[in-house]
Homo-oligomer: A and B are copies of this chain.
Amino acid sequence: MTTRTDAPTRREQILKEAARLFAERGFHGVGVDEIGAAVGISGPGLYRHFAGKDAMLAELLVGISGRLLTGAKRRLAEAGGVAGPEAVLDSLIEGHIDFALDDRPLITLHDRELDRLRDSDRKLVRQLQRQYVELWVEVVRQVHPDLAEPAARSAVHSVFGLLNSTPHLGRRGFLPGRGATAELLHRMARGAFASASSPVAG
């Protein structure tokens, strides 16, 4: 566990606020002055920490994709040997839900602002995303062997859509607690995969 207790550095403050603002109003809808104001400095002071506005977005998106993939690999390694594929899939779902619930702005950015990146960064992010998807596809096909590969890939993308719906839930603050929401999402994801494979049983 790499839990941090020390204060966040200025760079991290900026990234966090930039993520929130980008998620709220879109990359082009946020000015550098606003980002600066959000961390108590103003405008061009950001350039002491980042090469430009694009660099902030790039670092955010690469960071997201990397963390998702790293976490998934770790979970696969931890649960893969001892437990069956069902437990691995549950662990993957749990990890993705944790991310979707704890870092909603990043989830929003994840599939929204990818096209604003420089070619090299975008290729890197897409490669990480693709690896993440493929890892899921393999596990899903172990749990549901009757699922063909294209269908499995579609199913994985759709379940991502389901899990990533968290930004739309709390609009009115009406969601029933983090634990209950996580459990609900988990059950729905498993149910969606199950119904994707077998032509339903009821």
Contacts and interface: CB of A to CB of B under 8 A. Distances in A.
A190 interface: yes
Contacts of A150: 174-176
B175 A165 contact: no
Contact of A165 (B28, B158, B200): B158
Interface stretch (A12-20, A56-64, A191-199): A191-199
Contact of A25 (B115, B180, B199): B115
Contact of A196 (B116, B148, B187): B187
Nearest to A30: B28
Given A155-B184, A162-B161, A195 B190 contact: yes
Contact of A151 (B160, B168, B184): B184
Contacts of A165: 157-158, 160-162
Interface string A130-159: 000000000000000000101101110111
A192 B162 contact: yes
Contact of A191 (B154, B157, B192): B192
A168 B174 contact: no
Q: How many of chain A's residues touch chain B, expressed as a range? A: 35 or more
A161 B162 CA distance: 5
Given A116-B29, A150-B176, A151-B176, A158 B188 contact: yes
A153 B176 CA distance: 11
A181 interface: yes
B184 A192 contact: no
A185 interface: yes
B24 A26 contact: no
Instruction: Give the 3 A-B residue pairs with the shortest CB-CB distance, closest first.
Output: A191-B195, A161-B165, A28-B28
Interface of A: 24-29, 111-113, 115-116, 148, 150-151, 153-155, 157-165, 168-169, 174-176, 180-181, 184-185, 187-196, 199-200, 202
